[in-house]
Amino acid sequence: MTDKKALCSSELATLWMTYQQKTMIQRILEYFIEKADDEEAKRILVDTHTNVKKYVERLISLFEDEGCVIPAGFTAEDVNPGVPKLFDHHFDIMFLRQLKAISMGLHTLHVNLSYRKDLILLYKELTGMTQTAYEKCMDYLREKDVLPGPPAVTPPRTIEFAQSPNYMAGFNIFSDKRVLNTVEVAYLYFGIESNTLGMQMMTGFAQVANEPEVKKYFIKGKEVSKKIISDYSKVLLQSDIQAPSPSGGRATISTIAPFSDKLMMYCTSLFTNFGLGSNALGTAFSLRSDLPVMLASTAKDILTYGQDGGKIMAKNGWMEQPPSMEDRNKLVK
């Protein structure tokens, strides 16, 4: 007998989402490990894969213990390790870093959605594992001088407070826009950096997608990322700040898919949702009035793109449904 309470709806939801994400990462890492041409990068990929596989097995045991069906997730059928390399040097670690950034946010959220102690401990462990992998990726990319890093700034010597509503001015033609503050720069810079990786990912996915509709969708995603990079870069340049330009990680000329269309669509959905969340934070913390308007327009584009992707996934039977609540009206009938 066990004293554990049955899973509540939010706990089942978090386990289901975690399984989807971890099995996707597992498949992607299998491909990256097979294609790795740098021993240090390969060690990071192998260590991460070993840890992810261990937690996938724990999740399977949890589902079995609770009498739940094991989700389909992503399997060996969703990856083709033997095909030519799709991305150039350093993309694997840049991509893994971004996945780990997404994972850190999800695990923190899932701790707050869990009530059983064993699940809270599970997500705390996952957070620790994810943070370690993220740190390894950052160390590697700094060592290889791949990430240019945010712009330098002169340290403040005094405390300052806004003296008038002009601090919020962004559209008033009778007053100049103030220079960006460091909080605003941080979110704009992050948006450019993440969308640069997204643009490279969309380029590669578009080259290898099997379904014409999916190929067209990835091409559209590349254009969405390019527009965001352009819009954010213009704002930075207005304050004499050079936009970041990470080196490496471009798509190769391969046109043979290493992943199933299903996996690439799910991966794109994950990145899109993460972009929407980051955009919302940037909007909330940007005080110059023109920035929230621009970011809101960007959010609309991202949301529309994500919804279009969901329709394609549902149409092709690639959208695995999360567990549903009981349909009481149907049961009564």
Residue with tokens 């150039």: 88
How many CB atoms neighbour CB 209 within 10 A? 22
Given a contact cutoff of 8 angstroms between Cβ atoms, the answer to whether 249 and 194 are in contact is: no
Task: List pLDDT tens digits, range 73-99.
Answer: 999 999 998 899 999 989 999 999 999
Strand-pair partners of 251: 87
Residue with tokens 């261990």: 54
Task: List pLDDT tens digits, range 147-185.
Answer: 887 888 888 889 888 777 777 765 555 556 788 989 999
Residues of the chain within CATH 1.20.1260.10 domain(s) are 9-143, 168-315
Specify the CATH architecture of the domain 9-143.
Up-down Bundle (1.20)
Q: pTM of the prediction?
A: 0.91
Regarding predicted confidence, which is higher, 3 or 127? 127
No. of helices (H) and no. of strands (E), the chain: 9, 0
Given this model, what pLDDT does residue 319 score?
Answer: 93
Place 57 in a pLDDT band, splitting at 50, 70 and 90. Answer: very high
Compute the average pLDDT of residues 223-238: 94
Q: Exposure string (b/e) for 243-273, b if CB count within 10 Å is 16 or more?
A: bbebebbebeeeeebbbbbbbbbbbbbbbbe
- Separation CA 147–CA 247 (nearest Å): 7
Specify the CATH architecture of the domain 168-315.
Up-down Bundle (1.20)
